[in-house]
Amino acid sequence: MNKNLSHLFEIINKEKRTIIGLMSGTSLDGLDIALCEFSGHGLETKVVVRAFETMAYGSEFKESIKSIFAKRQVDLERVCLLNAFIGSYHADLILNCLQKWGIAPSEVDAIASHGQTIYHAPLSLHQQHNMPNATLQIGDGDRIAVKTGILTLSDFRQKHVAAGGEGAPLAVYGDYLLFSEKGQDRIMLNIGGIANFTFLPGDLNTDRIFSTDVGPGNTLMDAYVQANLPGKYYDANSEIALAGTCSKPLLAALLDHSFFAQGFPKTTGPELFNLSYLANAQKTSNTKGISVQDVLATLNRFSAIGICDAIERTVQKDSYKIFVSGGGMHNPLLLSSIKEILGQDTISDTAELGVLPDAKEAVLFATLANETLVGNGLSFGQNQTRLPSVHMGKISFPE
Ligand SMILES: Nc1ncnc2c1ncn2[C@@H]1O[C@H](COP(=O)(O)OP(=O)(O)OP(=O)(O)O)[C@@H](O)[C@H]1O
Ligand SMILES: CC(=O)N[C@H]1[C@@H]2OC[C@@H](O2)[C@@H](O)[C@@H]1O[C@H](C)C(=O)O
Protein backbone atom coordinates (compact mmCIF):
# COMPACT_ATOMS: atom_id res chain seq x y z
CA MET A 1 0.00 0.00 0.00
CA ASN A 2 1.10 3.56 -0.63
CA LYS A 3 3.13 4.63 2.43
CA ASN A 4 1.07 7.81 2.85
CA LEU A 5 -2.17 5.84 2.94
CA SER A 6 -0.88 3.28 5.44
CA HIS A 7 0.24 6.19 7.66
CA LEU A 8 -3.24 7.68 7.31
CA PHE A 9 -4.79 4.37 8.47
CA GLU A 10 -2.42 4.29 11.45
CA ILE A 11 -3.62 7.74 12.50
CA ILE A 12 -7.25 6.74 12.06
CA ASN A 13 -6.79 3.65 14.23
CA LYS A 14 -5.17 5.49 17.12
CA GLU A 15 -7.04 5.88 20.44
CA LYS A 16 -5.84 9.49 20.64
CA ARG A 17 -4.78 11.87 17.93
CA THR A 18 -2.62 14.98 18.22
CA ILE A 19 -3.89 17.60 15.79
CA ILE A 20 -2.64 21.15 15.33
CA GLY A 21 -5.45 23.58 14.52
CA LEU A 22 -4.58 26.81 12.69
CA MET A 23 -6.61 29.97 12.25
CA SER A 24 -5.69 33.24 10.65
CA GLY A 25 -8.69 35.51 10.65
CA THR A 26 -9.87 38.77 9.20
CA SER A 27 -8.00 40.87 11.79
CA LEU A 28 -4.66 39.72 10.30
CA ASP A 29 -3.04 39.87 13.74
CA GLY A 30 -1.24 36.55 13.49
CA LEU A 31 -1.54 32.80 13.17
CA ASP A 32 -3.37 31.07 16.01
CA ILE A 33 -1.81 27.65 16.66
CA ALA A 34 -3.56 25.18 18.98
CA LEU A 35 -2.02 21.82 19.82
CA CYS A 36 -4.97 19.55 20.56
CA GLU A 37 -5.30 15.98 21.71
CA PHE A 38 -8.47 14.24 20.55
CA SER A 39 -10.20 11.05 21.48
CA GLY A 40 -13.52 9.91 20.07
CA HIS A 41 -15.62 11.63 17.44
CA GLY A 42 -19.09 13.06 16.97
CA LEU A 43 -20.80 13.94 20.24
CA GLU A 44 -18.26 11.71 22.02
CA THR A 45 -15.39 13.99 20.97
CA LYS A 46 -13.04 14.89 23.80
CA VAL A 47 -10.36 17.49 23.29
CA VAL A 48 -7.54 18.66 25.50
CA VAL A 49 -5.73 21.79 24.33
CA ARG A 50 -2.12 21.04 25.24
CA ALA A 51 -0.67 24.35 24.07
CA PHE A 52 -1.76 27.53 22.34
CA GLU A 53 0.12 30.41 20.81
CA THR A 54 -0.64 33.31 18.48
CA MET A 55 2.41 33.82 16.27
CA ALA A 56 2.25 37.53 15.42
CA TYR A 57 2.57 38.52 11.78
CA GLY A 58 5.26 41.03 10.79
CA SER A 59 4.06 44.33 9.35
CA GLU A 60 5.46 43.55 5.88
CA PHE A 61 3.45 40.31 5.75
CA LYS A 62 0.28 42.05 6.94
CA GLU A 63 0.69 44.70 4.24
CA SER A 64 1.13 42.03 1.52
CA ILE A 65 -2.09 40.32 2.57
CA LYS A 66 -3.92 43.63 2.85
CA SER A 67 -2.98 44.41 -0.75
CA ILE A 68 -5.22 41.54 -1.95
CA PHE A 69 -7.63 41.14 0.98
CA ALA A 70 -11.36 41.59 0.31
CA LYS A 71 -10.60 43.62 -2.83
CA ARG A 72 -12.43 43.15 -6.12
CA GLN A 73 -9.37 44.05 -8.15
CA VAL A 74 -5.97 42.71 -7.27
CA ASP A 75 -2.59 41.82 -8.75
CA LEU A 76 -3.18 38.18 -9.75
CA GLU A 77 0.54 37.38 -9.67
CA ARG A 78 0.58 38.48 -6.02
CA VAL A 79 -2.36 36.16 -5.24
CA CYS A 80 -0.53 33.27 -6.88
CA LEU A 81 2.71 33.99 -5.03
CA LEU A 82 1.01 34.53 -1.69
CA ASN A 83 -0.87 31.23 -1.96
CA ALA A 84 2.50 29.47 -2.00
CA PHE A 85 4.21 31.89 0.38
CA ILE A 86 1.55 31.73 3.10
CA GLY A 87 1.68 27.91 3.02
CA SER A 88 5.45 27.96 3.59
CA TYR A 89 5.27 30.79 6.11
CA HIS A 90 2.62 29.01 8.18
CA ALA A 91 4.73 25.83 8.05
CA ASP A 92 7.70 27.80 9.44
CA LEU A 93 5.55 29.29 12.21
CA ILE A 94 4.33 25.79 13.15
CA LEU A 95 7.88 24.40 13.23
CA ASN A 96 9.06 27.35 15.39
CA CYS A 97 6.15 26.85 17.73
CA LEU A 98 6.76 23.11 18.06
CA GLN A 99 10.41 23.77 18.83
CA LYS A 100 9.38 26.29 21.50
CA TRP A 101 7.02 23.73 23.03
CA GLY A 102 9.69 20.99 22.88
CA ILE A 103 7.55 18.78 20.64
CA ALA A 104 8.92 16.91 17.61
CA PRO A 105 6.89 17.12 14.36
CA SER A 106 6.74 13.30 14.40
CA GLU A 107 4.58 13.51 17.56
CA VAL A 108 1.88 15.39 15.61
CA ASP A 109 -0.62 13.31 13.62
CA ALA A 110 -2.18 16.04 11.54
CA ILE A 111 -2.43 19.76 10.89
CA ALA A 112 -5.80 21.41 10.24
CA SER A 113 -5.21 24.63 8.32
CA HIS A 114 -7.86 27.25 7.67
CA GLY A 115 -5.61 29.38 5.45
CA GLN A 116 -6.20 33.07 4.87
CA THR A 117 -9.58 34.18 3.57
CA ILE A 118 -8.91 36.68 0.81
CA TYR A 119 -12.44 36.95 -0.57
CA HIS A 120 -15.84 35.83 0.66
CA ALA A 121 -18.63 35.98 -1.91
CA PRO A 122 -22.01 34.52 -0.95
CA LEU A 123 -24.73 35.22 -3.50
CA SER A 124 -26.22 37.86 -1.19
CA LEU A 125 -23.00 39.86 -1.54
CA HIS A 126 -22.01 39.25 -5.16
CA GLN A 127 -25.61 39.40 -6.49
CA GLN A 128 -24.77 37.57 -9.75
CA HIS A 129 -27.68 35.17 -9.94
CA ASN A 130 -26.06 32.85 -12.48
CA MET A 131 -23.11 32.35 -10.09
CA PRO A 132 -22.87 30.18 -6.93
CA ASN A 133 -21.90 31.03 -3.37
CA ALA A 134 -18.11 31.19 -3.26
CA THR A 135 -15.29 31.85 -0.85
CA LEU A 136 -11.51 31.76 -1.24
CA GLN A 137 -8.84 30.86 1.31
CA ILE A 138 -5.18 30.73 0.33
CA GLY A 139 -2.04 29.21 1.90
CA ASP A 140 -1.52 25.91 0.13
CA GLY A 141 -1.91 22.79 2.29
CA ASP A 142 0.59 20.79 0.20
CA ARG A 143 3.31 23.29 1.15
CA ILE A 144 2.49 22.88 4.84
CA ALA A 145 2.56 19.08 4.55
CA VAL A 146 5.82 18.97 2.60
CA LYS A 147 7.65 21.49 4.79
CA THR A 148 6.53 20.12 8.16
CA GLY A 149 6.38 16.44 7.15
CA ILE A 150 2.93 16.31 8.81
CA LEU A 151 -0.30 15.17 7.11
CA THR A 152 -2.33 18.33 6.52
CA LEU A 153 -6.05 18.97 6.06
CA SER A 154 -6.92 22.35 4.56
CA ASP A 155 -9.43 24.38 2.57
CA PHE A 156 -12.37 23.37 4.78
CA ARG A 157 -14.87 25.87 3.44
CA GLN A 158 -15.04 24.53 -0.13
CA LYS A 159 -17.02 21.39 0.80
CA HIS A 160 -19.52 23.49 2.75
CA VAL A 161 -20.11 25.69 -0.30
CA ALA A 162 -20.22 22.67 -2.63
CA ALA A 163 -22.92 21.12 -0.43
CA GLY A 164 -25.12 24.21 -0.53
CA GLY A 165 -23.78 26.35 2.33
CA GLU A 166 -22.17 29.78 2.21
CA GLY A 167 -18.79 28.45 3.45
CA ALA A 168 -19.34 30.00 6.90
CA PRO A 169 -19.82 30.09 9.79
CA LEU A 170 -18.18 26.72 10.38
CA ALA A 171 -17.89 27.30 14.13
CA VAL A 172 -21.31 25.72 14.53
CA TYR A 173 -19.89 22.23 13.85
CA GLY A 174 -17.24 22.50 16.57
CA ASP A 175 -19.67 24.25 18.92
CA TYR A 176 -22.16 21.42 18.51
CA LEU A 177 -19.59 18.66 19.04
CA LEU A 178 -17.67 20.24 21.90
CA PHE A 179 -20.05 22.49 23.79
CA SER A 180 -23.62 21.11 23.54
CA GLU A 181 -25.01 20.53 27.02
CA LYS A 182 -28.22 18.71 27.83
CA GLY A 183 -30.50 20.96 29.85
CA GLN A 184 -28.84 24.27 29.00
CA ASP A 185 -29.56 26.50 25.99
CA ARG A 186 -26.25 28.05 25.00
CA ILE A 187 -25.20 30.88 22.73
CA MET A 188 -21.60 30.61 21.56
CA LEU A 189 -20.77 34.16 20.47
CA ASN A 190 -17.51 34.77 18.62
CA ILE A 191 -16.47 38.40 18.21
CA GLY A 192 -13.69 38.37 15.62
CA GLY A 193 -13.41 40.76 12.68
CA ILE A 194 -16.93 39.65 11.83
CA ALA A 195 -19.13 38.45 14.68
CA ASN A 196 -21.12 35.23 14.54
CA PHE A 197 -22.97 33.00 16.94
CA THR A 198 -24.25 29.45 17.35
CA PHE A 199 -27.40 28.63 19.31
CA LEU A 200 -27.16 25.20 20.96
CA PRO A 201 -30.53 24.03 22.31
CA GLY A 202 -30.49 22.28 25.68
CA ASP A 203 -32.78 19.55 24.28
CA LEU A 204 -29.95 18.65 21.86
CA ASN A 205 -32.42 18.70 18.96
CA THR A 206 -30.21 19.22 15.89
CA ASP A 207 -33.12 20.77 13.97
CA ARG A 208 -33.02 23.72 16.39
CA ILE A 209 -29.28 24.40 16.18
CA PHE A 210 -28.85 27.79 14.63
CA SER A 211 -25.86 29.69 13.40
CA THR A 212 -25.24 32.92 11.51
CA ASP A 213 -22.84 35.79 10.98
CA VAL A 214 -24.35 38.96 12.40
CA GLY A 215 -22.23 41.79 10.97
CA PRO A 216 -19.08 43.53 12.11
CA GLY A 217 -17.32 42.59 15.31
CA ASN A 218 -13.98 44.44 15.28
CA THR A 219 -13.36 44.89 11.58
CA LEU A 220 -14.73 48.42 11.12
CA MET A 221 -13.30 49.70 14.41
CA ASP A 222 -9.88 48.23 13.53
CA ALA A 223 -9.90 49.62 9.99
CA TYR A 224 -10.88 53.09 11.25
CA VAL A 225 -8.18 53.12 13.96
CA GLN A 226 -5.52 51.97 11.48
CA ALA A 227 -6.52 54.65 8.95
CA ASN A 228 -6.79 57.52 11.43
CA LEU A 229 -4.39 56.86 14.29
CA PRO A 230 -0.92 56.09 12.93
CA GLY A 231 0.87 53.39 14.93
CA LYS A 232 -2.31 52.04 16.50
CA TYR A 233 -3.89 48.80 15.34
CA TYR A 234 -7.08 48.68 17.39
CA ASP A 235 -8.90 50.57 20.12
CA ALA A 236 -7.25 48.78 23.05
CA ASN A 237 -9.64 48.40 26.00
CA SER A 238 -12.09 50.73 24.17
CA GLU A 239 -10.11 53.70 25.51
CA ILE A 240 -10.80 55.92 22.50
CA ALA A 241 -14.48 54.98 22.17
CA LEU A 242 -15.01 55.56 25.91
CA ALA A 243 -13.81 59.16 25.43
CA GLY A 244 -16.48 59.78 22.78
CA THR A 245 -20.26 59.81 22.41
CA CYS A 246 -22.30 57.66 20.07
CA SER A 247 -23.70 59.74 17.18
CA LYS A 248 -27.36 58.84 16.67
CA PRO A 249 -27.54 59.99 13.02
CA LEU A 250 -24.37 58.08 12.10
CA LEU A 251 -25.58 54.98 13.94
CA ALA A 252 -28.91 55.13 12.08
CA ALA A 253 -27.11 55.46 8.74
CA LEU A 254 -24.80 52.52 9.54
CA LEU A 255 -27.81 50.35 10.33
CA ASP A 256 -29.67 51.43 7.21
CA HIS A 257 -28.42 48.68 4.89
CA SER A 258 -30.21 45.76 3.26
CA PHE A 259 -27.81 43.35 5.06
CA PHE A 260 -29.63 44.04 8.33
CA ALA A 261 -33.08 43.62 6.78
CA GLN A 262 -32.07 40.31 5.16
CA GLY A 263 -33.26 37.10 6.87
CA PHE A 264 -31.05 34.63 8.73
CA PRO A 265 -28.76 32.76 8.41
CA LYS A 266 -26.34 34.87 6.43
CA THR A 267 -22.64 35.50 6.13
CA THR A 268 -20.61 38.58 5.43
CA GLY A 269 -17.13 40.03 5.53
CA PRO A 270 -14.94 43.09 5.08
CA GLU A 271 -16.00 42.97 1.42
CA LEU A 272 -19.08 44.86 2.70
CA PHE A 273 -18.07 46.21 6.12
CA ASN A 274 -15.10 48.40 5.23
CA LEU A 275 -14.09 52.06 5.29
CA SER A 276 -16.19 52.84 2.20
CA TYR A 277 -19.25 51.56 4.11
CA LEU A 278 -18.42 54.00 6.93
CA ALA A 279 -17.65 56.90 4.56
CA ASN A 280 -20.97 56.37 2.85
CA ALA A 281 -22.84 56.38 6.17
CA GLN A 282 -21.01 59.54 7.29
CA LYS A 283 -21.96 61.21 4.01
CA THR A 284 -25.65 60.36 4.18
CA SER A 285 -25.87 61.30 7.88
CA ASN A 286 -23.85 64.49 7.45
CA THR A 287 -21.46 63.44 10.22
CA LYS A 288 -18.13 63.74 8.41
CA GLY A 289 -16.93 66.36 10.89
CA ILE A 290 -17.38 64.37 14.13
CA SER A 291 -14.37 63.44 16.25
CA VAL A 292 -12.41 60.20 16.04
CA GLN A 293 -13.65 59.38 19.55
CA ASP A 294 -17.29 59.85 18.52
CA VAL A 295 -16.83 57.72 15.40
CA LEU A 296 -15.34 54.90 17.47
CA ALA A 297 -18.06 55.18 20.12
CA THR A 298 -20.61 54.88 17.30
CA LEU A 299 -18.88 51.96 15.58
CA ASN A 300 -18.63 50.19 18.92
CA ARG A 301 -22.37 50.59 19.50
CA PHE A 302 -23.05 49.55 15.89
CA SER A 303 -21.29 46.21 16.48
CA ALA A 304 -23.17 45.68 19.75
CA ILE A 305 -26.55 46.39 18.14
CA GLY A 306 -25.84 44.06 15.17
CA ILE A 307 -24.94 41.23 17.55
CA CYS A 308 -27.89 41.73 19.92
CA ASP A 309 -30.45 42.34 17.22
CA ALA A 310 -29.51 39.05 15.50
CA ILE A 311 -29.75 37.14 18.78
CA GLU A 312 -33.08 38.74 19.71
CA ARG A 313 -34.56 38.05 16.27
CA THR A 314 -33.56 34.40 16.11
CA VAL A 315 -33.36 32.95 19.62
CA GLN A 316 -36.26 32.72 22.07
CA LYS A 317 -35.66 34.97 25.06
CA ASP A 318 -35.92 32.23 27.68
CA SER A 319 -32.84 31.45 29.70
CA TYR A 320 -29.89 30.94 27.44
CA LYS A 321 -26.35 31.28 28.69
CA ILE A 322 -23.84 33.19 26.54
CA PHE A 323 -20.23 32.04 26.11
CA VAL A 324 -18.08 34.57 24.28
CA SER A 325 -14.80 34.13 22.40
CA GLY A 326 -12.68 36.08 19.89
CA GLY A 327 -10.64 39.26 20.29
CA GLY A 328 -13.72 41.49 20.68
CA MET A 329 -14.40 39.97 24.09
CA HIS A 330 -11.46 42.07 25.33
CA ASN A 331 -13.30 45.26 24.31
CA PRO A 332 -15.02 46.35 27.55
CA LEU A 333 -17.41 48.92 26.03
CA LEU A 334 -18.65 46.39 23.48
CA LEU A 335 -19.21 43.74 26.15
CA SER A 336 -21.02 46.12 28.49
CA SER A 337 -23.32 47.28 25.65
CA ILE A 338 -24.14 43.66 24.77
CA LYS A 339 -25.00 42.90 28.40
CA GLU A 340 -27.11 46.04 28.67
CA ILE A 341 -29.07 45.43 25.44
CA LEU A 342 -29.68 41.72 26.11
CA GLY A 343 -30.36 42.28 29.81
CA GLN A 344 -27.63 39.83 30.87
CA ASP A 345 -25.86 40.35 34.19
CA THR A 346 -22.86 38.31 33.19
CA ILE A 347 -21.41 36.83 30.03
CA SER A 348 -19.17 33.80 30.43
CA ASP A 349 -16.36 32.82 28.12
CA THR A 350 -15.32 29.47 26.72
CA ALA A 351 -12.49 29.09 29.27
CA GLU A 352 -15.28 27.93 31.58
CA LEU A 353 -15.80 25.07 29.10
CA GLY A 354 -12.11 24.16 28.92
CA VAL A 355 -11.13 26.03 25.74
CA LEU A 356 -9.34 29.38 25.93
CA PRO A 357 -11.47 31.93 24.07
CA ASP A 358 -8.58 33.11 21.91
CA ALA A 359 -7.86 29.50 20.90
CA LYS A 360 -11.43 28.54 20.08
CA GLU A 361 -11.38 28.97 16.30
CA ALA A 362 -8.07 27.11 15.93
CA VAL A 363 -9.50 24.28 18.06
CA LEU A 364 -12.56 24.32 15.82
CA PHE A 365 -10.53 23.52 12.69
CA ALA A 366 -8.67 20.75 14.54
CA THR A 367 -12.10 19.35 15.49
CA LEU A 368 -13.27 19.45 11.87
CA ALA A 369 -10.11 17.54 10.86
CA ASN A 370 -10.66 14.95 13.61
CA GLU A 371 -14.20 14.44 12.32
CA THR A 372 -12.99 14.04 8.73
CA LEU A 373 -10.37 11.51 9.81
CA VAL A 374 -12.44 9.35 12.16
CA GLY A 375 -16.05 10.59 12.21
CA ASN A 376 -19.02 8.57 11.01
CA GLY A 377 -20.85 11.51 9.50
CA LEU A 378 -22.94 14.11 11.23
CA SER A 379 -26.60 14.39 10.47
CA PHE A 380 -28.30 17.73 10.87
CA GLY A 381 -31.53 16.52 9.22
CA GLN A 382 -33.94 19.34 8.47
CA ASN A 383 -31.94 21.88 10.41
CA GLN A 384 -33.30 25.43 10.14
CA THR A 385 -29.82 26.77 9.28
CA ARG A 386 -29.68 24.21 6.44
CA LEU A 387 -26.35 22.97 7.76
CA PRO A 388 -24.70 20.68 5.21
CA SER A 389 -24.04 17.28 6.84
CA VAL A 390 -20.57 16.89 5.39
CA HIS A 391 -16.97 16.17 6.29
CA MET A 392 -14.67 19.03 5.39
CA GLY A 393 -11.02 19.52 4.44
CA LYS A 394 -8.71 18.29 1.70
CA ILE A 395 -5.96 15.90 2.66
CA SER A 396 -2.34 16.66 1.70
CA PHE A 397 0.30 14.00 2.22
CA PRO A 398 3.86 15.01 3.07
CA GLU A 399 5.43 12.80 0.38
N1 LIG B 1 -7.70 44.61 24.74
C2 LIG B 1 -8.48 44.75 23.65
N3 LIG B 1 -9.32 45.79 23.56
C4 LIG B 1 -10.10 45.98 22.49
N5 LIG B 1 -10.11 45.14 21.42
C6 LIG B 1 -9.28 44.09 21.46
C7 LIG B 1 -8.44 43.82 22.57
N8 LIG B 1 -7.75 42.67 22.29
C9 LIG B 1 -8.14 42.26 21.06
N10 LIG B 1 -9.06 43.10 20.54
C11 LIG B 1 -9.72 43.03 19.24
O12 LIG B 1 -9.66 41.72 18.74
C13 LIG B 1 -9.10 41.70 17.41
C14 LIG B 1 -8.49 40.35 17.16
O15 LIG B 1 -9.53 39.41 17.24
P16 LIG B 1 -9.48 37.93 16.69
O17 LIG B 1 -8.09 37.43 16.89
O18 LIG B 1 -10.63 37.20 17.25
O19 LIG B 1 -9.72 38.18 15.19
P20 LIG B 1 -9.70 37.19 13.97
O21 LIG B 1 -9.45 35.79 14.42
O22 LIG B 1 -8.77 37.78 12.99
O23 LIG B 1 -11.17 37.37 13.47
P24 LIG B 1 -12.20 36.45 12.70
O25 LIG B 1 -12.88 35.63 13.75
O26 LIG B 1 -13.09 37.45 12.09
O27 LIG B 1 -11.49 35.66 11.70
C28 LIG B 1 -8.17 42.90 17.39
O29 LIG B 1 -7.91 43.31 16.08
C30 LIG B 1 -9.00 43.90 18.21
O31 LIG B 1 -9.98 44.53 17.43
C1 LIG C 1 -15.20 33.40 5.06
C2 LIG C 1 -14.55 33.56 6.39
O3 LIG C 1 -13.36 33.42 6.54
N4 LIG C 1 -15.37 33.82 7.42
C5 LIG C 1 -14.91 33.93 8.78
C6 LIG C 1 -14.94 35.37 9.23
O7 LIG C 1 -14.48 35.48 10.58
C8 LIG C 1 -15.61 35.39 11.43
C9 LIG C 1 -16.76 35.14 10.51
O10 LIG C 1 -16.28 35.80 9.32
C11 LIG C 1 -16.94 33.63 10.24
O12 LIG C 1 -18.04 33.47 9.40
C13 LIG C 1 -15.74 32.98 9.60
O14 LIG C 1 -14.86 32.32 10.48
C15 LIG C 1 -15.24 31.44 11.50
C16 LIG C 1 -14.06 30.69 12.02
C17 LIG C 1 -16.35 30.44 11.14
O18 LIG C 1 -16.42 30.00 10.00
O19 LIG C 1 -17.10 30.07 12.05
Question: ipTM of this predicted complex?
Answer: 0.96
pTM of the model: 0.96
Q: Whose CA is nearest to atom 12 of ligand 2?
A: 169
The pLDDT, as a whole number, for residue 248 is: 98
Q: From edge to edge, which strands make up the β-sheet containing 210-216?
A: 210-216, 194-200, 186-191, 321-325, 348-349
For residue 120 and ligand 2, the question of a CB distance below 6 A is answered with: yes
CA-to-CA distance for 65 and 31, rounded, in angstroms?
Answer: 13
The pLDDT of residue 160 is: 97
CA distances from 194 to 91, 172, 222, 259, 270 (A): 26, 15, 11, 13, 8
* Whole-number Å distance between alpha carbons of 133 and 239: 39
Query: Which CATH number is associated with domain 180-353?
Result: 3.30.420.40
Q: Are 39 and 46 in contact (CB under 8 A)?
A: yes
Q: Which residues of the chain have pLDDT under 50?
A: none
Instruction: Decide which of 3.30.43.10, 3.40.630.30, 3.30.420.40, 3.30.1330.10 is the CATH code for 3-171+359-380+388-396.
Output: 3.30.420.40
- pLDDT number for residue 27: 86
**Separation of CA 182 and ligand 2 centre (Å):** 27
* Ligand 2 closest atom vs CA 217: 8
Give the model's pLDDT for residue 116: 98
The domain ranges of the chain are 3-171+359-380+388-396, 180-353
358 Cα–ligand 1 center, Å: 9
Q: For residue range 126-157, what is the model confidence (pLDDT) as tens digits?
A: 999 999 999 999 999 999 999 999 999 999 99
Identical topology for domains 3-171+359-380+388-396 and 180-353: yes
**Is residue 345 part of an annotated ligand binding site?**
no
109 is in an annotated binding site: no
Quote the pLDDT of residue 217: 98
Ligand 1 nearest-atom number relative to CA 222: 31
